[in-house]
Amino acid sequence: MKVKTILNIAVFMTSYLLFGGIFLIMVMCNVDVNYTEIRTDPVYKNIDKTVEIDVYEQDSPIVATPKNAGKELILLDKSGSMEEFITDLYKNNVEFFKQNDVWAFDTELYQDVSIENVEFSGDTNVFKAVNAAADAGYDTIWLCSDLEHNTGEIQLSDIAKEMQIIVYSPKILDSEKTKDVIKEFEYGDTKVITIN
């Protein structure tokens, strides 16, 4: 009986040392293991979920126009915190900006603007701008904003709820400052994208 026990212990210890040694050699040799990331969408990587709207992160410039985009508008939040982001976004997407109508907004709406002439300052009324775009017959808006709406009513018009709204934000949304805005955007076809 003692011989069997000693043999079992010897086999166990040998196996343990053998597999442990192989693992140690792999670690010491820095063996790389390649992992393949499986993505359901080739452009976006889901990084957060704020209320009920998926939030995505994107490294590249603005994506190609979505299918069935219809009449498109680029809508720029001209609050001071957006200046660097919008200027960089424009530099990386000049052709996209040239191909589409561009409006800017703070608490007022400025139609047919040129990036060079936008003065970044003021408060933010997101819904006044989005609803005006819907009233003007746009089907898709590219809303460049951090969604920090701080003046005016938080309400999408019925027409705006039918539009496709693609929000480009310079940062992960501040859930405290944007939760009511995001909740209202749930009623529409909205995608929020943050750009590095």
DSSP 63: P
Q: What CATH number should be reported for the domain holding residue 161?
A: 3.40.50
Please answer whether residues 129 and 103 qualify as being in contact, where contact means their C-beta atoms are separated by less than 8 angstroms: yes
Q: Do 25 and 78 fall into the same domain?
A: no
Same domain (yes/no): 135, 109: yes
Residue 40 within a domain = no
Task: Give residue 173's pLDDT.
Answer: 74
Q: What is the pLDDT of residue 10?
A: 74
Q: What's the structural domain count of the chain?
A: 2
Same domain, 27 and 98: no
Average pLDDT score over residue span 183-188: 85
Q: What is the mean pLDDT of residues 75-104?
A: 90
82 in a structural domain: yes
| Domain boundaries, position 30 | 1-35
Mean local confidence (pLDDT), 73-80: 94
Q: How far apart are CA 55 and CA 185, in angstroms?
A: 12
Contact indicator for 111, 134 with CB cutoff of 8 Å: no
Distance CA 77, CA 87 (A): 12
Residue 137 and residue 63 share a domain: yes
pLDDT digits (tens, 9 = 90+) for 114-154: 988 999 998 999 999 999 999 999 999 999 998 989 888 99
